[in-house]
Structure 1
Amino acid sequence: MKQKKNWLTGDGKCSSSTMGGLKSPDVEIHVMGSAMEVVLVTGLDCQFMFTEIIRMFREEGAEVVNASFSIQDNTVFHTLHSKLGETSAPEDEAARISEKLKKFVYSSVS
């Protein structure tokens, strides 16, 4: 009940336990020129991360062109495709966004 309450209130934390259907989040980031793909794998208790990552992209000026998720057993697979802003150095922008995303995902584990 406490985990459900935390998830519903969006306290920003996910369980690090793999017992009881809970899974620590993991993120993979792929950059191809001005395109960025993020694959986020979470447990059922971390679904708030999906919308938070979309918000981060928008804050950084990147356009989310496609976002989807699928659930298999107790694991949620989120995929986001984005187009980076029209900057002269997309590599720097990609590195900054990647670092911010990783920091958010891995600091969200309680």
Structure 2
Amino acid sequence: MMKSGEGKIMDRKTVEKNRRMHMKSLCFKLASLIPKQEYIYKDSISQQDHLDVAAAYIKKLKERIVSLKQQKMLSGGHGGSAAAAGTAQDPADSRGGKLGFHLPMIDVRHRDPNLEVLLIISSSEASFSFHRVIGVLEEEGAEVVNASFSAVGDKIFYTVHSQAISSRIGLEASQVTERLKQLIRI
């Protein structure tokens, strides 16, 4: 026969076991979020070491955020260099404004089997038809997975994510880029 006190002890043991398992799971998730180069390679790393590395990594990221904000303030708050964004231009150019590139702009990124297209145009270019961009991608063997746009001031930013219909055929990013340039007359 079981005494009433034994049932409570078992429940406490089970609760504590579940708590420890939950904490272990959370620590494992945290460790998986930290890049591997942050770890000092040892044969075994304790849970405390994982927490220390995570705390140091978070501090490093916070310092980087502060540094990037300071750089942004020093550069006038325009969000980056002209070389990184595209072709450099005169800031007084009405087609690109202070963004640092000529409009319209196309950026095609290819990572097998995915293709990402970023298109930035001025809202004054009324002759542009977005469905033609989708058509070009489909003609080149891509299936559109996701398409979105956002308008900021007089600029419209289109983003299209696509995949190759056939992994054996693949996608040719340079050909897609050339066809899109012809389409929007860059």
Q: CA deviation digits over 1:39-72, x for unaligned, max 9?
A: 0000113363422101111222310000000000
Hey, which of these two has a bigger chunk of strand by percent?
Answer: 1
- Count of aligned positions: 88
TM-score normalised by length of structure 1: 0.66
Coordinate RMSD, CA, aligned: 2.4
- Structural mapping, 1:78-93, within 5 Å: 78-90=158-170, 93=172
In the alignment, the residues of structure 2 paired with residue 49 and residue 67 of structure 1 have an alpha-carbon distance, to the nearest angstrom, of 14
TM-score normalised by length of structure 2: 0.41
**Aligned partner of 1:31 among 69, 87, 110:** 110
Give the counterpart letter for 2:94 in structure 1.
Answer: T
Aligned equivalent of 2:180 = 101
- Structural mapping, 1:10-21, within 5 Å: 18=94
In the alignment, the residues of structure 2 paired with residue 75 and residue 25 of structure 1 have an alpha-carbon distance, to the nearest angstrom, of 9
2:72 counterpart of 1:72: no
Aligned equivalent of 2:35 = none
Aligned identity (percent) is 33
Give the counterpart letter for 1:59 in structure 2.
Answer: E
Aligned equivalent of 2:139 = 59
In the alignment, the residues of structure 2 paired with residue 49 and residue 69 of structure 1 have an alpha-carbon distance, to the nearest angstrom, of 13
Task: Please tell me whether Structure 1 or Structure 2 has the larger radius of gyration of its CA atoms.
Answer: 2
Give unmatched runs, 5+ long, in structure 2.
1-92
The structure showing larger relative contact order (alpha-carbon pairs under 8 Å, at least 6 residues apart) is 1
In the alignment, the residues of structure 1 paired with residue 175 and residue 165 of structure 2 have an alpha-carbon distance, to the nearest angstrom, of 12
Give unmatched runs, 5+ long, in structure 1.
1-16
